[in-house]
Amino acid sequence: MTDRYLVTGGARLQGEVSVGGAKNSVLKLMAAALLAEGTTTLTNSPEIADVPLMADVLRGLGATVSIDGDTVVIDAPAEPKYHADFDAVKQFRASVCVLGPLMARCRRAVVALPGGDAIGSRPLDMHQAGLRALGAHSAIEHGCVVAEADALVGAPVALEFPSVGATENILMAAVLADGQTTIDNAAREPEIVDLCVMLSQMGARIDGAGTSTLTVTGVDRLHPTEHRVIGDRIVGATWGIAAAMTRGDVTVRGVAPAHLQLVLNKLVDTGARVDTLPDGFRVRHDGRPTAVNVSTLPFPGFPTDLQPMAIGLATVADGMSVITENVFEARFRFVEEMVRLGADARTDGHHAVVRGIERLSSAPVWCSDIRAGAGLVLAGLVADGVTEVHDIEHIDRGYPNFEENLTRLGGGIERVRG
């Protein structure tokens, strides 16, 4: 049996909450530490379940890793192992980001196909195509991505879609390749910029971070560094949307408002008052939110990771909302759980149509992924009675101190063990 949450509805969230480092950044930065022999230190790391899981992956590749609160210290060996086996990577998708660093350091990699959230297919075709453009041979064999090259040589790479994972793996392989690599249609997410900043501190030569074209000039070697992980914009926005849903007043610290401009604008459209701060933002809502339409897109668009929270907001908004999912096709399975709570919602292909009601009704629900889990808890906050949220180990993978922060804001939540 797994832990579950008991969420009591009716509370108005109020107060201040601090956001730690970004889950979608720290795991890639940990992998990037493999690119340089010696000790790299990451600060502001989130205290989430995926960080020790990633540490186990790196240990399996020969690194020494220690975690102390929000500090992760990684000592990368002179000759990393190149085989990340299934037992190490099966629990989370981000483990595939060791592929690029291993190709850069070892010129070969065997990485078991990873597991992770049930949000749809995320094939590795673009990862492999990018490595092939740099001179590698790559294929799927016996459940693993197998890649090898006599040498990596810079080349133009054009991505079919601005995939975050493919951009990261190709970027990390290219920093130690011979010559210049251009990545067109590269992902522009703040987490990509964070990776570029750290790699540049390590001695990499990268131009165009934050744009759709990255230019990488390979260098002979990199050196270890110390780097502070950027704040988690997805966690920060979750609390902001929770404030709007509960007609609350929440100040979020530790995240750059520029990373959430579109999301904050959407909250304003619902009738919320939003103030940006040097290190965060404040969301206040005194009445029932107004319905808004949302389409998920790569950055700077509305993040797919916030789609469940957008649907949660739509379920209690005044009017009809259309939520369009353009990134992960299976993410709408979360809607089935919202219907258990009385939501007036239906899905059709890439679209969900939601007619808001005054209040949801409590029921047992099950998490299918990290963000769906957070979205279900937020829905429980605006339901009558007590909502049981099961399989909450997903939430632990992305939200540090989740119930403590929610309790501090006045939310009714209790973790039941086993």
Residues within the annotated binding site for phosphoenolpyruvate? 23-24
**CB of 237 closer than 8 Å to CB of 303:** yes
Count of CB atoms situated within 10 Å of the CB of 148: 16
| 117 among known catalytic residues | yes
Beta-bridge mates of residue 282: 251, 275
Closest C-alpha among 269, 306, 274 to residue 290: 269
The two tokens of residue 322 are: 């259309």
The two tokens of residue 74 are: 């990684």
Residue 251's Cβ-count burial label (10 Å; 0-12, 13-18, 19+) is buried
Binding-site residue numbers are: 23-24, 93, 305, 327
Cα torsion 159, 238, 322, 389 to 10°: value is 110
* CA-based torsion, 354, 358, 363, 367: positive or negative: positive
Query: 366: helix, coil or strand?
Result: strand
The two tokens of residue 315 are: 């379920």
Binding-site residue numbers for UDP-N-acetyl-alpha-D-glucosamine are: 93, 305, 327
User: Of the residues 70, 117, 194, 369, which is catalytic?
Assistant: 117
Please give the positions annotated as active site: 117
